[in-house]
Structure 1
Amino acid sequence: MRLLHTSDWHIGRTFHGADLLAEQETVLHHLADLVAGEAVDVVLVAGDIYDRAVPSAEAVRVASTGLRRLREAGAELVITSGNHDSAARLGSFAEFAAAGGLHLRTTVAGIDKPVLLRDEHGEVALYGIPYLEPELARHALGVPDARGHTGVLTEAMRRITGDLARRPEVHRSVVLAHAFVTGGVGCDSERTIAVGGVEQVPGSVFDGVDYVALGHLHGAQTLGEGLRYSGSPLAYSFSEAAQRKSVWLVDLDAGGLADVRRHELPVPRRLATVTGTLDELLEAPELADLADCFLSVTLTDRVRPVDAMRRLRERFPHAVHLDWEPEGGCATVLRYAEAVRGRSDSEIAAGFLADCRGAPPSEREHALLATALETAGKRDPDGQDGDLR
């Protein structure tokens, strides 16, 4: 039996305000082609199908189309919910969906109820552990003394191994889980699942099965031969710019885990970072190939340029993030009390502008400030000059 392990699609997520639905649709279409080309029997999605509990209509359309294509390519689908999903919404109509080859495991009650699929060697049991919020899950699991993620996942795996013990005819098993396992390396785009400062669980919790398809961390990682993160199919933060996104192709034979291969995914739009003055970035010919990248820019001009993002986007249409770090650092560090002591409102406003930009206001800007302060003073009910302090 051949499995494809993926996770953390986060359909509907934006990248610094930029819509990613087209890029997400491209990657899901590639996964369907991979399923057909590699004769994949089962696609495992280990949580975070959506980026939010109530996804938009367009996000639902992209996810539904992607799942349909995977099914039409010939694979059964086993999905569990992540911390970004609404387990109740994702699991709606689960019993009906199973008839069409879409197996949803989103409830505590379903943890020890496997999807049983058959190949020439017999049955394979596939279990889904949805994201378990410890405080809620410990009561739902009937273990009120369990503590943190380790406690509730230990109970979940106890139920799974107990079910396997009652199925002597089943010799191969797979678990999907959405969790932060010790040894994994996180990225900036992941939402913390820490409880009381502890979010990680030891890999030994998952002993007793042939393969564990993990979700939550966005970088592909191998914590053990049968314990892996697939990572997200797209980069969702600039901290992931150097990662090559991928999925795992997992083969099971009569004896259990036979082989695991990594398949790298296409990159619909690259991520890049650049640093320099605004004029340098707008003129440097060697930066021409960044025009199609999602771009993070750090400007080093001594004075903060006016309208910098608009000017950058004339050359780099997909610039999405901008920082200003003047070369040599800021000249002064202002403390509020010192900045306003003995100064008029116009002097405070001019000082604020100078602090933000790294240069004093021009004559035109001084005139605009004076007009603004005069107008504000006229609107004061007592006819007094507005006090910025």
Structure 2
Amino acid sequence: MRILHTSDWHLGRTFHGRVLDDAQATFAEHLIELVEAEHVDAVVISGDVYDRAIPPAAAVSLLDDTLCRLADRTRVVLTSGNHDSAQRLGFAADLLREGLDLRVRVADVDRPVIIPDAAGGPGLYVYALPYLDPDAARVSLPGLLAERIGEPADGHALLPRSHEAVVSGALRLVAHDLASRRANDQAKVPALVLAHAFVVGGQASPESERDIRVGGIDSVPAGVFTTLGGSPLAAASGGLDYVALGHLHRPQELHAPASPRLVYSGSPLPFSFPEADTAKSSVLLELDTSGVTRLERIPTPTPYRPITLRGTLEELLAPANAAHATDWVRVELTGPMPSGTMARLKDRFSNLLAFSHARPEREQRETIIISRTSDPVEVADRFLAEMLGDDPSPAQHAIMSAAYDAVRSRTNSKEER
């Protein structure tokens, strides 16, 4: 089986005010071409297809078009993330076209999508875990665990309020179903789980992901995917072969003893300046009865290039930075900030999206003592020197002096009346 794993599209997101619709449409075209070129048996999408619960109309239109085109070419399994509204994303899921499965309900976590092999038999079991909000899932899971696998129900007892507890509960349901299916299979059918969670050991991307901390606990130990949530049927089930993770935007694989392949595809586009040096990709993998036999990261196209430039004004405007004239730029200015700095930077970098100024540290800050006899213009000059790291220019001094004279003249005129 050849599977394409992707996640965290965040359709509708902006980058420091820049709309990403065109860049996300470029990724969608790339994905469709990849499915055709690689003869992919299924695309699995591990949540956060939208950037917010109520996405803009353009994002809904792009997702609709992309899913329809993918479903014309292969099987698609999609689950919700913490940015998505599961109810809105899963609306009319039971009425969707053949080949497109939207899994957003907790009650469906142990009901796999079965990807057929070349002979028409089961080729892969895909269990889709949506983002499990602890406050809701700790209420709904105990009844399912009692009904389906006979876990003792202690009245109205709830699961602990953590991601580990609710993901473990869902995986125990998966273990029960998987053990039952594999007991009747003539040959081992590989199993894949989609999960949207922060797994311990994963590396986040600064300024990119939304915090999913609940009750101070936001992570899931990697071991729960090995033990299937502590299920007594973990060994009998044969275990998982691949966990298609979503939530973290940095592509990475986590390693734990005797664990299945735990892989974050990462987001297809950079959503923050710190992500500029992270290569974005989708994961193409192959599985057979022995598990994962091949795993390859396929780079995704990025129509824009975010970059952070740091230095004095002279360093930033140097010829060496001319290559970044059309990049999406964040400037961190050090040293003095003379008059006209922003205008000069915007003239050099047409896509200047973020700016900060690190004022030079002085060995000893000047203490400005103000009295009734102090010259207001002199006080303003000394304040500007302290804030900008350099003495005000003659033009800046003239502006402050003229402003003071205008206020003083107006005040005197009122007093004379």
TM class by shorter chain equals 0.7 to 0.9
For 2:380 and 2:64, locate their aligned partners in 1 and report how far apart those are by CA, in whole Å: 53
- The residue type equivalent to 1:138 in the other structure is R
* Of 220, 233, 238, the match for 2:251: 220
Could you tell me which residue of structure 2 aligns to residue 19 of structure 1? 19
| Closer/same/farther in 2, CA of residues 353 and 64 from structure 1, 3 Å limit | farther
Counterpart of 1:190 in structure 2 is: 209
| Code of the aligned partner of 1:21 | D
Cα distance in 1 between the residues matched to 2:225 and 2:128:
12
Provide the rounded CA distance (Å) in 2 between the counterparts of 1:10 and 1:370: 54
Task: Specify the alignment match of 2:153 in structure 1.
Answer: none
Which residue does the alignment assign to 2:103?
Answer: 105
The residue type equivalent to 2:331 in the other structure is V
Per-residue displacement from partner, 1:106-164 (whole Å, max 9, x unpaired)?
Answer: 11122122112211363122111111121221012126132311001000101111121
Cα–Cα, structure 1 residues 120 and 316, in superposed 2: closer, same or farther, change >3 Å?
A: same
Alpha-carbon spacing, 1:377–1:331, altered in 2? closer, same or farther (3 Å): farther
Task: Please say if 1:300 is aligned against 2:334.
Answer: yes
Displacement of 1:66 after TM fit?
Answer: 2.5
Per-residue Cα deviation, 1:160-213 (whole angstroms, up to 9, x for no partner): 111212323453211111000011101111111112332111111112211110
Aligned: 1:261 with 2:261:
no
Post-superposition offset of 1:226: 1.4
Once residues 134 and 374 of structure 1 are traced to their aligned partners in structure 2, the CA distance between those partners, rounded to angstroms, is: 66
The change in CA–CA distance for 1:114 and 1:373 in structure 2 (over 3 A counts) is farther
Counterpart for residue 287 of structure 1: 321
| Deviation for aligned residue 1:345 | 11
- Deviation per CA, 1:237-266: give whole Å up to 9, x if none: 121111111111111213332221111222
Contact kept? 2:41, 2:115, Cα under 8 Å: no
What is the correspondence of 1:20-169 to structure 2 with a 5 Å cutoff? 20-72=20-72, 74-97=73-96, 99-120=97-118, 122-123=121-122, 124-142=124-142, 144-168=158-182, 169=184
1:62 CA drift (Å) = 2.3
Code of the aligned partner of 1:296: R
1:271 Cα deviation after fit? 2.1
Which residue in 1 is equivalent to 2:151?
Answer: none
Distance 1:6 1:365, change over 3 A: same
Q: Spell out, residue by residue over 1:78-116, the C-alpha distance to the aligned partner (whole angstroms, 9 max, x if none).
A: 11111111111111111112x332211111122122112
Match of 1:319 in 2: 352
Matched residue SS, 1:83: coil
The secondary structure found in structure 1 opposite 2:106 is coil
Q: Take 2:104 and 2:313, find their aligned partners in 1: how far apart are those partners? A: 50
Asked whether the equivalents of residues 53 and 85 of structure 2 are also in contact (C-alpha less than 8 Å), the reply is yes
Deviation at 1:288, TM superposition (A): 2.0
Match of 2:152 in 1: none
Letter of the 2:106 partner, please give it.
V
Deviation at 1:18, TM superposition (A): 1.5
TM-score (norm 2): 0.81
Query: How many Å separate the matches in 1 of 2:369 and 2:339?
Result: 25
Q: Deviations over 1:338-376 (max 9, x none)?
A: 878757895777666554433455121243256468879
Task: Please give the secondary structure, in 2, of the residue aligned with 1:233.
Answer: coil
For residues 243-295 of structure 1, the C-alpha deviation after alignment (integer angstroms, 9 at most, x for no partner) is 1111111112133322211112222112222222334423x222222123111
Please state whether the residue corresponding to 1:241 is helix, strand or coil: helix
User: What one-letter code is carried by the residue in structure 2 that aligns with 1:298?
Assistant: E
Q: Distance in 2 between matches of 1:333 and 1:107?
A: 60
Bigger drift between 182-191 and 121-130 goes to: 121-130
Specify which of 321, 325, 329 is matched with residue 361 of structure 2: 329
Partner Cα separation in structure 2 for residue 125 and residue 377 of structure 1:
85
Q: Deviations over 1:36-59 (max 9, x none)?
A: 110111111101101111111112
2:240 alignment counterpart:
209
Equivalent of residue 282 in structure 2, options 217, 240, 247: 247
Aligned-pair identity (%): 44
Instruction: Tell whether the 8 Å contact from 2:44 to 2:78 is kept in structure 1 after alignment.
Output: yes
Give the Cα–Cα distance (whole angstroms) in 1 for the partners of residues 216 and 42 of structure 2. Answer: 36
Q: 3-state SS of the aligned residue for 1:166? A: helix
Shift of 1:70: 2.4
- Larger of the two Rg values belongs to structure: 2
Q: 1:181 to 1:301 in 2, by over 3 A?
A: same
Q: Is the 8 A contact 2:11 2:51 kept in 1?
A: yes
Distance (whole Å) between structure 2 residues aligned to residue 272 and residue 373 of structure 1: 47
> Which residue identity does 2:245 align to in structure 1?
L
- Number of residues paired by the alignment? 372
- What is the rounded CA distance, in whole Å, between the counterparts of 1:213 and 1:103 in structure 2? 16
Whichever residue aligns with residue 316 of structure 1, its letter is F
Name the TM-score, length of structure 1 as normaliser: 0.86
How far apart, in 1, do the equivalents of 2:292 and 2:58 lie? 38
**What secondary structure, in the 3-state scheme, does the structure 1 residue paired with 2:165 have?**
helix
